[in-house]
Amino acid sequence: MGLLTVSSIVAGYTATDEILKDLDFAVDEGEIVAVIGPNGAGKSTLLKAIAGLLRPSHGSIVWKDQSLVGRPPSEIARLGVAYVPQEHNVFQSMSVRENLEIGGFVEPAKVSARAARAMERFPVLGEKRRHAARTLSGGERQILAMAMALMVEPTMLLLDEPSAGLSPHAAATLFDTIGAINRDGIAVVLVEQNADQALAVAQRAYLMVDGRNSRIGDAHELAADPEIRRVFLGG
């Protein structure tokens, strides 16, 4: 059953700037969808449009049976769509616990119980609950950013380059965490430059080039495609 349907959207950052060019995109319940492609393809722009940070000039974005176009990001979060940006995704000077509390802003009465569950789910956050976020490793900060997003108990998580800047070991741990989140029934849209690992964890994938879909299909089939391997996966 479809959760999200994006149809023919055109979007950019100025009135004349078209980064997304008549793009279609869809996510079904409980799946991980990887979005790969070169820099400047529009991958992050797609997430921002879904999350309400950027309004398309044309096309539709439908979540279940409701249009998301024109809704503020806070309302979209309340509807069950949580967005984790690539950068500035935690409050560095605040403690892990305080970051989780901020993540639960949509339902203040449930913050304490949800924060406790988050720290149980991610033991490293529980161990460092009083530590400032700036003291965490890169991988731990990304886990905190995802835990903050999960504080709204979303149905879908939008992740923008979560493994950027991480060591291979930290990235592998992060992708394991993404898989575990998905197994709890949360759909994930995963924008990644680390195409190999993104395709390994995803069920379906979109290859975006110049604001358009170049290829769509089963993630493992795309990962095995010789041309995609040559251009995007290094062999």
CA-closest candidate to residue 234, choices 199, 191, 206, 188: 199
Which CATH number do you get for residue 214? 3.40.50.300
Q: Report the share of the chain in percent with pLDDT over 70.
A: 98
Q: Closest by alpha carbon to 20, among 53, 52, 56? A: 56
Phi-psi region at 178: left, alpha or beta (left = phi > 0; alpha = psi -120 to 50): alpha
Of residues 124, 121, 119, 129, the one with CA closest to residue 98: 129
Residue 170 lies in a domain: no
Q: Which of 118, 153, 188 is the last residue of a domain?
A: 153
pTM, full prediction: 0.93
Confidence band of 2 (pLDDT split at 50, 70, 90): confident
Q: Which two tokens stand for residue 177?
A: 């965490």
Confidence of residue 48 (pLDDT cuts 50, 70, 90): very high
Domain around 42 = 1-80+155-164+176-235
Total domains present in the chain: 2
Query: 212 falls in which pLDDT band (50, 70, 90)?
Result: very high
The set of long-range contacts for 173-177, using a CB threshold of 8 Å and a minimum separation of 24, is 173/139, 174/139, 174/142, 174/143, 175/200, 175/201, 177/122, 177/143, 177/146
